[in-house]
Copies of this chain bind each other. A is one copy, B any other.
Amino acid sequence: MRAQDMPAVRDLPLFAGVEDSNFEELVSAALLQHFPPQVQLIHEGDSADFLYILVEGSVELFACNNGRETSMAIIEPTSAFILAAVLSDAVCLMSARTLTPSRLLMIPAEHIKRHFAEDKMFAVAIANELSKAYRQLVKMHKEAKLRPATERLANYLLRLAASHDHASSFTLPADKRTIAALLSMTPENLSRSFGALNPHGVRIQGPVVHIDKPDALAAFAKPNALIDDPEIGLSSR
């Protein structure tokens, strides 16, 4: 692992409170891999042999059923994924592919499980991480069930803006096709929904979104803290 990436990984909530020696042991067992875009890292149904930590780039989690495919999440650095499958010693419920050239730290599942069983601080940090992840997913599911498509998009844009320090312009984190699947809509309807947000001060230029009237957009989106507010990690984030 590059020395400059170390602090970001060390600062993950997943390792909060873990002794340096234990952290070093986990990381020294890990391999850092580079991947080009559109490489499938995980196939759903496969056993979870590694805990993945995205250090650079971006990764999509997706899932299939009966010929259909949908997007479950877009992962950005620095964060861990398929932790639950690793702990449960179970098959992965989601597939993963790189969206952009990415670097991933891969920690063998056996090491994670051994440290989890032996290191109290690590078990505590894992439980905290899983709590956050669970609550994030509850929010996603609430959004899916309680909001119509255009409102989901409006709130998603507001959350993206917030994650960019409320910048008035930002670039979408993936192709529109992927964003559409993430929001449970077709690319065609995403296009039309962008159009519907135009009167509320949203302008689209290719992959970049301009929010000209944040208040107007918020008035339309009616954001709800119990769906839209990010979980504040115990450490940084």
A positions within 8 Å CB-CB of B? 44-45, 63-66, 68, 70, 72, 83-85, 87-88, 90-91, 93-94, 116-117, 120, 123-124, 126-128, 130-135, 137-142, 144-147, 184, 222, 224-227, 231
Contacts and interface: CB of A to CB of B under 8 A. Distances in A.
A231 B90 contact: yes
A65 B137 contact: no
B135 A93 contact: yes
A223 to B, nearest CB: 10
Given A66-B222, A123-B123, A134 B84 contact: yes
Given A134-B134, A139-B93, A127 B87 contact: yes
Q: Which among A44, A130, A142, A225 has the greatest number of chain B C-beta atoms within 10 A? A: A130
Contacts of A87: 127-128, 131
Contacts of A144: 141, 144-145
A90 B137 CA distance: 15
Contacts of A139: 93
Contacts of A44: 226
Contact of A63 (B83, B84, B117, B146): B146
A35 to B, nearest CB: 23
